[in-house]
Amino acid sequence: MGLGERLQRAWYEGHPALGLLAPLEALYRRVALRKRARYLSGEAPAYRAACPVIVVGNITVGGTGKTPMILWLIDHCRGLGLRVGVVSRGYGARPPSLPWRVSAADNAAQAGDEPLLIVQRSGVPLMIDPDRSRAVQALLAAEPLDVILSDDGLQHYRLGRDLELVLIDAARGLGNRRCLPAGPLREPAERLASADAVLFNGREQDAADGFGFTLRSSALVNLASGERRGLDHFPPGQALHAVAGIGNPQRFFTTLERLNWRPVEHAFADHATFSAAALAFQPQLPLLMTEKDAVKCRPFAGPDWWYLAVEAQPSQAFQAWFDARLAALLPPRVPARP
């Protein structure tokens, strides 16, 4: 178990040694609060786009289902007849220049795994840049858009936003509710009160503290051929190698167990780089991974390598709330002439 994994376990399960990090936590909290206050007061200017900007982020370290939610929002907004664009930091990406318009033909090293996944799945115009405000400006210069989604970036206050959607893993919650490095929080828990909506990944019912949404497993997709198979492709009790280089690998492994398979767990660091040698597990079994990992493994995939496609399913109440808030942000639409 690596240092990062041990630290995350301590955050969520507790460890007395975390008390030693209290001075660093106090410093981190002061810096985080001061940064936000500077933008709220206008002391530090924020860029405001000509169209609504919706930030999908979190206040915890680790995966909360942002990418499936971004994909759902893209489809939903398109269903309303809106032109959608996405901006992302492009974590780990090394593009030739910045900002960089991600193409489906890019590789993950160039574009970043999550941006590449989003573009390959949806074809959405997507720009990466650690300076997300610059990414928005470049995207609007290239495309006529009605709404822009920011993949993560809740703490990137240089980018003005019209809606903030904060995602939380329902099973893990906020852990010990302490800030880095003594806990998993990027900002104090009180920050949730200022978000427009809080969504709990893995909660089927809405509650007073937020909306529920789930991730539905929809298909198995072969990395080498692109062939899609139903979830009955593997029989109950099938043993397989399970690979997850995401923020919360255990959630993926638990999903496979609930599908009645027997995963041999191989957890990697979030955004890990893979190779054929690193995934040459024994004994030889089907290999199943997340879609985020698959975008990096296609060039050397074996014939029995698959990824599990998942779809976000937010509650009906959230959908109604989102439609109402989005309608209030958009200019009135002129009906088409008969």
pLDDT (0 to 100) of residue 157: 97
How far is Cα 93 from Cα 70, in angstroms, rounded to an integer? 19
In the prediction, which pLDDT does 336 show?
Answer: 45
d(CA 69, CA 148): 14
CA distance 167 to 198: 6
Low pLDDT (below 70) residues in the chain: 1-3, 333-338
Strands (E), 50-105: 53-57, 84-88, 100-101
Nearest-angstrom CA–CA distance, 290 and 258: 15
Structure token digits, residue 309? 């496609």
The DSSP bridge partners found for residue 215 are 312
Q: 231, 87 in Cβ contact below 8 A?
A: no
